[in-house]
Structures are given as structure tokens and as C-alpha cells.
Amino acid sequence: MTDLSEAIYLDACATTPPGPGVIDRMAEVYAGCWGNPSSLHGHGVRAAETLERSRWQIASAVNSDGRELVFTSGATESVHLALMGYGLAQPPGRLVISAVEHPAVNAAAQQLQRHGWQITTWPVDRYGRIDMEHCEALLAAPTRLVSLIWGQSEVGTLQPIQTIGNLCRSRGIAFHTDATQVFSQGVPDWQALPVDLLSASAHKFGGPKGAGLLLARDQQRQQMQRLQGGGGQEQGLRAGTEPVALIAGMAQAITLLPRWTEPSAPVIGADAVTGPGTGSLMQLRNQLLQALLADPRLELTGDDQRRLPHHISLIATNHRGKPLQGRRLVRALANKGISCSSGSACSSGQDVGSAVLAAMGYAPDQQRAGLRLSLGPWNQAQDLDRVVDAVKASLDEAEALIEP
């Protein structure tokens, strides 16, 4: 097995290493605040104080009223609580989701369908962007709920959340977004978003696995029903003893993040590499992408302008244009000390074509040829040459296995 101490980690969209101080903060809470925050004695009060201090830290970071914040075990639970918790409390209507949602959104939608909801998929173009020509039809009655992934984890495309949110708000439609990947790059300003329900997961932004959040406006939160019974924790919406140490770790991680800024510059070309902000994570990504695309066997997927600033997604082929298996390339790169993926970590264990690439119009053999590299602040400019050389060598190996 490759020595991980020497490996270059390029799979930030799957998970991230703990941020500075996160483990120390969690250890401190585990040691001194291990009581049940619902208990009335001193140990419980101390834990409750730590829990609410963490809630205040996170609410302050996102510019939210702490009452709008519900702690969960991660984005998957947050998505289900948002869509099912709100949807099951309403008369059945239509839920609109994009064709490139995370599997958690698709699963929650299927649950609502069993309860009488109509599910409609919003088509996307070749770049993974929703087709705005469908706005009027999809946002007309009987649509009552819309869920769009903000930053697509597999191809990096950012959806026009501001535009769709405003359209939903003007029509009285509840709007949910899966902001998991966006949170990894910066904290959105909740008060400036035309969003009613927002899901995120701590381990995508340097926090621990097992902690997540749901932001919910007062109107939607008051209409939601809980999905699991038990205690009355989290305003009665999420029964179960809160994991105080994990939430404290999430609070520590989120306070280290910058404010989210929507990227709007091209990711390839001279301006992308030499323009303002050189040295930033986005510029590092652009430099790596530029070097990789010098190989004619690699093609960028997703939006080449409005995309997650740390994200590279590619289709790999041989010199004759025949797609190469992404999973094979990932294994070859792992043997060379490069950690990356062939798509969403939630489906990477399955040898099937990418549903996201299928929705974007890629052919079946191309749907298995995806390669994703996602950077973090731990990556350095001196890593780039090694990554490019490893990708080239892996392409050569995969190409040699294809019969002439």
C-alpha cells in the first residue's frame, strides 16, 4: 500500500481532513462536557451550555437566527428532514428536482412519491446547468417544493440558486438546496439567500463525520413534522441526544471558513491562470487544470465558468477517442500516491455509469470514464507536476490495456 504520508490528497469533495483545532476542540469537549445536554444536573448543564455556544458560533457564521438551525448527523439526514419533514406536513403536490441531484435527494423524493407527491425532474444541458426555458412550466401549479443542488459534487457546476430562489419566493413555493459542496469553499450569508431550507455536512469543510445542519426559515420550520420520535431535541424536529463534541468540532471548523463568493471567471485560458488572485485555491486549481488539458485524452466536464472553485472533472479517452474506465485510472493513480475519485463517493463503489453524466447527454461508455480531482488548502503548487505526471502515466497504462 502507498505510504499515505507521501500521498497527495485530491478528493476533497468526498471528505476533508480535520481543520486546525477541530480535534483539540472535540477532545476538550469529550473530556469535560460529556454529560447529556438534556439533563438538569451540573454535568448536563455544562454540556447544554457547550451545545448552545456551538449553535451560536455556527448561526453567527452563517448570519442566522439560532432558532433556524437544526443539528443532524449529516447532509443526507438534513436533506430527508427538509424534503420529507416539510413535504409530509403539506397536502401532496409537485416536487421539482434537477436531473443531477445527490442520491440523498433522489431517495427522499422517492419517499414523497409514495405519499402521493408528483416528482418532476428539471433537465440540464451538456454542462450540467438546469435549462431555464422550463422555468414557467416547472414553477407553475401544482409545484409546492423545489430542490436544486447548489454545487454539483461530480462535475462541479453551480446552479443559479439566487434566480430560482427568487422565482420560487414570488410564487409561494418552498425552496431547498443541498449546499454541501458550497460550504466546503465558504460560508453563505443565509439572510441574503432566497432559500427556505438548506442542507450541509461538517466533514466536507474540515469538521467531523456524523454532524450536519439544516437551516430552515420560521415558516417552513413551523410546518415541518419530525421523521423520528423520541425526545424533544432540536425543537422537536430531531429526536436523539445531540453529539455535543461533534457539534463543537463542526463549530470550530465553520469559524475557519471564508465567506462564500460566487465564482464567475473562466477556469481555462491565460486569464484563468494569471489573473487576479494568483496563489489562491482557485488559481491552483486552474493551473492544474490547464496542465492536464494539455493532454488531448482529457476533456473538461461541467460548467467552465460557474463551477466550484476547487473542482476538476474530466472525461478520459485514449488517443483514438475511446473512453477509458475512470475506476481503473483512480486505482492506478492511488498506486502512484494520488488520491482522487471517478465520481461521487456515495456511488463510487458501484461499477455503473454516472447518472449525472447520463443526464448531461454523455454516451454510456463515456459515463464510466469520469475522473474527479478536488483540491483543498493542504495542496501546494509544488504538487502539480507530480500530479500531472501521474495522470499521464495512468492514462498510458489504461490505454495499453485496450485492444487495438
What are the DSSP calls for 212-276, one per residue?
Answer: EEEEE-HHHHHH---SS-SS-TGGGTS-S---HHHHHHHHHHHTTSPBP----S-SSSHHHHHST
Judge whether 391 and 158 are in contact, CB under 8 Å.
no
Q: 317-326 as b/e, with b when 16 or more CB fall inside 10 Å? A: bbeeeebbbb
Q: Alpha carbon of 71 to those of 74, 150, 195, 220, 251: distances in Å?
A: 8, 20, 18, 16, 11
- The Cα 359–Cα 43 span in angstroms is 52
- Residue-level length of the chain: 404
- The Cα 122–Cα 360 span in angstroms is 12
At 206, is the secondary structure helix, strand, or coil? Answer: coil
The three grid cell numbers given for residue 312, joined into one nine-digit string: 476538476
Q: Which of 13, 135, 340, 346 is catalytic?
A: 346
Beta strand 8-9 with 338-339 is: parallel
33 has catalytic annotation: no
Q: How many Cβ atoms are within 10 Å of 89's Cβ, its own excluded?
A: 13
For 39, how many CA atoms within 13 A lie in the half-sphere containing its CB? 10
Judge whether 301 and 360 are in contact, CB under 8 Å.
yes
Judge whether 36 and 44 are in contact, CB under 8 Å.
yes
- The Cα 75–Cα 203 span in angstroms is 10
- The Cα 201–Cα 195 span in angstroms is 17
Any idea which residues carry the catalytic annotation? 346
